Amino acid sequence: MFTNKLTGLLKIEHPIIQAPMAGGITTSKLVAEVSNAGGLGMIGAGYMTPAQIRDQIKEIKQLTKKPFGINLFVPNDFSYTENEVNKANQLLQPIRNHLQIHHDHTIDLPTSDQIIKTFNEQIKVVIEERIPVCSFTFGIPSEEVIADLRRNDVILIGTATTVEEAIEVEKSGMDMVVVQGSEAGGHRGNFISESHNSLIGLMSLIPQIVDHVSIPVIAAGGIMDGRGLTASLCLGAMGVQMGTAFLTCIESGAQQKYKEAILHASEDQTVLTRTFSGKWARGIKNKFIVEMEKYEDVLPEFPVQNTLTQPIRKASSSQQNADYLSLWSGQSPRLAKTQSVRVLFNTILTEAKNIQNNL
């Protein structure tokens, strides 16, 4: 249903892409079930090692014969001072104590070289494992990487938060673009525009981008059901990418406490924060954000802050405590349900068909 150029290129039945949520949410079962249901399952591989990626790909291939994709983070330049890191550590220490995290050693901070090396190895796995679709967040990879992937028939998807960014994605030679509205949960994908200038609602953003690019546009942000799917198509998108809707599915790997936080949240409880990772992201306001938000301006940038808070998020998760987890969520948590991927797909498609008939 709703087949078009996008479904043709991706070789999928329905223009529904499962957002590549990083941090263990996109289990092999989730990815495979989405692809088996006729959508495109995506591995959120931003934080994964090349070996972990290879293992998961093999696992997914056991569960589905349908195409699935992967998302990688484009490495960004970053810098930090010892002072900045000491200050952040000092601010985080009371929370580490509270969670009884004991360090005998200092946390190893990543270097740009390491991150670029890992990214190049991730790309190598994508090519070797013949993954048909690769999407990127936080920018556009180098010409060489794009050429390499294209030579290997990988369909490339960029992420944009403004018209200018979408134009750059098209110019780079990518095949389609995910348009991230201000409604979207998780990290902002802006890479040219400033985070706070690029918070454009999808009702505004999709038509303005569609008027400026010719590659297929995929709408992302707050889309949870057949209403969001059909609305996105009316606005000129050829498909949707849904995160929060899949996050609370039975097959998702999100912590139970995290799922519950979304299932009990209202639309006005998410905030933009850089306290967890150093990059702006939308999530449900919890104790960690409340305690750290006054220091938002002085925290180190991504991925440094992300590395510093990792033990906290890990301990919070294993202690079944949602207070110090990053509870990324879009602005439609009231529409989230506990259900299987299959039921979610059936509901979306039935609803979309009804809307189409009654418009």
> CB 195 → a copy of itself: shortest distance, Å?
11
Comparing CB distances to a copy of itself, the nearer of 4 and 320 is 4
Number of helices (H) and strands (E) in the chain: give both, helices first: 14, 11
Q: How far is the CB of 158 from a copy of itself (least distance, A)?
A: 17
269 vs 316 by CB, closer to a copy of itself: 269
Decide whether 88 or 213 has the Cβ nearer to a copy of itself.
213
**Does residue 221 touch a copy of itself according to CB under 8 A?**
yes
Minimum CB–partner distance for residue 95 and a copy of itself (Å): 24
Contact between 263 and a copy of itself by CB under 8 A: the answer reads no
Of the ranges 227-235, 252-260, 294-302, 340-348, which one interacts with a copy of itself (CB under 8 A)?
227-235
> According to CB under 8 A, which residues from 191 to 220 bind a copy of itself?
193, 197-208, 211, 219
Residue from 121, 148, 164, 291 that binds a copy of itself (CB under 8 A)?
164
3-class SS at 85? helix
283 in Cβ contact with 329 (< 8 Å): yes
Angstrom CA distances, 329 to 156, 201, 242, stand at 25, 15, 11
Contact segment (CB under 8 A) with a copy of itself among 116-124, 179-187, 309-317, 342-350 equals 179-187
β-partners of residue 328 are 283
3-state secondary structure of 159: strand
Nearer to a copy of itself, 107 or 272 (CB): 272
Helix (H, G, I), strand (E, B) or coil at 109: coil
Supply angle C-alpha 228, 229, 235, rounded to 5. Answer: 85
Cα–Cα distance measured from residue 156 to residue 314, given in angstroms and rounded to the nearest whole number: 32
Compute the least distance from the CB of residue 183 to a copy of itself, in Å: 4
What mask of x and - would describe binding to a copy of itself in positions 325 to 344, judged by CB under 8 A? -----xxx-xx---------
Q: Which stretch binds a copy of itself (CB under 8 A): 39-47, 125-133, 159-167, 309-317?
A: 159-167
Q: Which of residues 56-85 bind a copy of itself (CB under 8 A)?
A: none
Per-residue tokens: 263:
């299932």
Closest residue by Cα to residue 206 from 219, 197, 196: 219
347 binds a copy of itself (CB under 8 A): no
Question: At 17, phi and psi to the nearest 5?
Answer: -110, 135
Beta carbon nearer to a copy of itself, 25 or 223: 223
Q: Rounded to whole angstroms, how far apart are CA atoms 66 and 59?
A: 13
Using the rule CB under 8 A, which residue among 24, 236, 253, 311 binds a copy of itself?
A: 236
Alpha-carbon gap, residue 102 to 83, rounded angstroms: 22
Identify each DSSP E strand in 81-181 by its residue range.
133-137, 155-160, 176-180
Q: Kindly provide the b/e burial profile for residues 6-20, where b requires at least 16 CB atoms within 10 angstroms of the residue's own CB.
A: bbebbebbbbbbbbb
Contact residues toward a copy of itself (CB under 8 A) are: 162-164, 181-183, 193, 197-208, 211, 219, 221-225, 227-228, 230-236, 266-269, 271, 330-332, 334-335, 355-356, 359
